[in-house]
């Protein structure tokens, strides 16, 4: 991993770790640790795609009164929770640390205070037990978790059915990207947001309406009872070539509409507003994915599966629209189950196993990174 000058300020010299896991072992157990934002999570996953235990401590109640994540509060909460979460994960699986073969933890990107908490815990365990350690890119955790477990209406129920290459829509509170996933560590960026992420837009509109945080699930629920044609939201870039997104204009339009509104903001108004906003976001995503499928690089790769992952993958309208798009292109649609869409330890453990299989373990000092694009893997 390449480190920039900023990374050197937080470099952790942990020496060389020796692997005690034989490469031909039938089933490998990985302890995965995630602490990049507002969830402290750990999980034990085996190489046969079984989740033995999975614990998530969510900080949402602590951040709701601020309308978003406060980095310093998040880091402190991770410090208080990390030992308990790891111990509960081991107990729930009926395992001790000696039973674990591989340790994996998020090393970025994310809120660096939180990332450091999980990474220090993982390096300490690996150092003490001489277990191999994997530095997981948080985004790769999202990108690979459909291979652990995927659900879709067409009957796909096992992650084994999500084969490389696949076309991925990765959407969360901080990221919105279309990626061609060729293999572990092999990501080709097809399109990305040029301003706000889809998840950020959902959160901001929810806050404008006084609905609370996190906004995505709330807006999705209210939209299910609303009229998506009542308010005329823009569809930025949908009349332009390329595969990049822009959600800033939709968010700004929402603010202007509300400022100029003279109607009662009752339940019907809120439901219709959410439905109209969500419809605009969905249209933008489907438009950009259609463009991506027409690019030379995607056509040449001929992916058989269209995948959505990240926190926004929980959105019912986005999942339904992407499933229809996949059907139209004779592709399989796959998405993680709802409990594996948001940040979680199981995705980190699975990414740890996938990376361990190809020998990608820590062999020299690693610096946790607040920014770490998938394309740098």
Domain ranges of the chain: 5-147+340-376, 150-335
pLDDT of 238 strictly over 90: yes
- If one compares 86 and 214, the residue with the highest pLDDT of the two is 86
pTM exceeds 0.85 for this model: yes
Q: β-strands 166-171, 176-183: how paired? A: antiparallel
Q: How do residues 7-54 score in pLDDT, each as one tens digit?
A: 322 323 333 333 444 444 578 999 999 999 989 999 999 999 999 999
Q: What is the mean pLDDT of the chain?
A: 90
Residues 227-247: what's their mean pLDDT?
97
**Domain 150-335 CATH assignment equals 3.40.1000.10:** no
Q: β-strands 39-46, 29-34: how paired? A: antiparallel
Q: How do residues 55-106 score in pLDDT, each as one tens digit?
A: 999 887 788 777 778 888 989 999 999 999 999 999 999 999 999 999 999 9
Q: Are the folds of 5-147+340-376 and 150-335 the same?
A: yes
Q: How do residues 190-208 score in pLDDT, each as one tens digit?
A: 999 999 999 999 999 999 9
Look up tokens 């999705």; give the residue: 220
Task: Give the pLDDT band of residue 115 (cuts 50, 70, 90).
Answer: very high
Among 324, 331, 327, which Cα is nearest to 301's?
331
- If one compares 47 and 4, the residue with the highest pLDDT of the two is 47
Rounded percentage of the chain residues whose pLDDT exceeds 70: 91
Residues 281-296: what's their mean pLDDT?
98
CATH topology of domain 5-147+340-376: Nucleotidyltransferase; domain 5 (3.30.420)
Q: How do residues 8-19 score in pLDDT, each as one tens digit?
A: 223 233 333 334
Lowest mean pLDDT among 25-34, 259-268, 302-311: 25-34
Give a three-class secondary structure readout of the chain.
CCCCHHHHCCCECCCCCCCCCCCCCCCCEEEEEECCCCEEEEEEEECCCCEEEEEEEECHHHHHHHCCCCHHHHHHHHHHHHHHHHHHHHHHHCCCHHHCCEEEEEEECCCHHHHHHHHHHHHHHHHHHCCCEEEEEHHHHHHHHHHHCCECCCCCCCHHHCCCCEEEEEECCCCEEEEEEEECCEEEEEEEECCCCHHHHHHHHHHHCCCCCCHHHHHHHHHCCCCCCCCCCCCCCCCCCCCCECCHHHHHHHHHHHHHCCCCCCHHHHHHHHHHHHHHHHHHHHHHHHHHHCCHHHHHHCCCEEEEECHHHHCHHHHHHHHHHHHHCCCEEEECCHHHCCCCHHHHHHHHHHHHHCCCCCCCCECCCCCCCHHHC
Lowest mean pLDDT among 12-21, 295-304, 330-339: 12-21
């Amino acid at each position: 991993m390449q480190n920039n000058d900023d990374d050197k300020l937080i470099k952790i010299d942990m020496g060389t770790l020796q692997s005690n896991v034989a490469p031909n072992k039938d089933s490998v157990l990985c302890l995965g640790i995630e602490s990049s934002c507002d969830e402290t999570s750990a999980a034990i996953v085996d190489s046969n795609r079984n989740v033995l235990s999975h614990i998530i401590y969510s900080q949402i109640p602590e951040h709701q009164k601020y309308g978003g994540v406060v980095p310093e509060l998040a880091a402190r909460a991770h410090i208080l929770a990390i030992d308990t979460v790891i111990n509960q994960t081991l107990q729930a699986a009926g395992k001790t640390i000696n039973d674990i073969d591989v340790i994996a933890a998020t090393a970025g990107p994310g809120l660096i205070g939180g990332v450091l908490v999980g990474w220090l815990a993982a390096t300490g365990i690996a150092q003490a037990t001489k277990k191999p350690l994997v530095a997981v890119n948080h985004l790769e955790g999202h990108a690979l978790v459909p291979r652990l477990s995927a659900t879709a209406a067409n009957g796909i129920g096992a992650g084994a059915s999500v084969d490389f290459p696949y076309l991925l829509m990765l959407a969360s509170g901080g990221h919105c990207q279309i990626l061609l996933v060729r293999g572990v560590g092999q990501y080709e960026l097809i399109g990305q947001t040029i301003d706000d992420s889809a998840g950020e837009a959902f959160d901001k509109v929810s806050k404008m309406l006084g609905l609370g945080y996190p906004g995505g699930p709330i807006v999705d629920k209210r939209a299910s009872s609303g009229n998506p044609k009542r308010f005329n939201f823009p569809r930025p870039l949908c009349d332009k070539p390329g595969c990049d997104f822009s959600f800033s204009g939709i968010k700004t339009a929402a603010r202007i509409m509300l400022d100029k509104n003279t109607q009662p903001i009752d339940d019907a108004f809120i439901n219709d507003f959410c439905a109209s906003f969500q419809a605009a976001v969905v249209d933008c995503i489907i438009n950009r994915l259609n463009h991506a499928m027409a690019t030379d690089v995607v056509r040449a790769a001929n992916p058989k599966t269209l995948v959505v992952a990240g926190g926004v993958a929980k959105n019912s309208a986005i999942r339904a629209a992407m499933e229809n798009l996949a059907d139209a292109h004779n592709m399989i649609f796959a998405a993680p189950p709802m409990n594996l869409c948001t940040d979680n330890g199981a995705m980190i453990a699975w990414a740890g196993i996938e990376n361990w299989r190809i020998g990608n373990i820590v062999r020299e000092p690693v610096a946790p990174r607040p920014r770490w694009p998938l394309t740098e893997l």
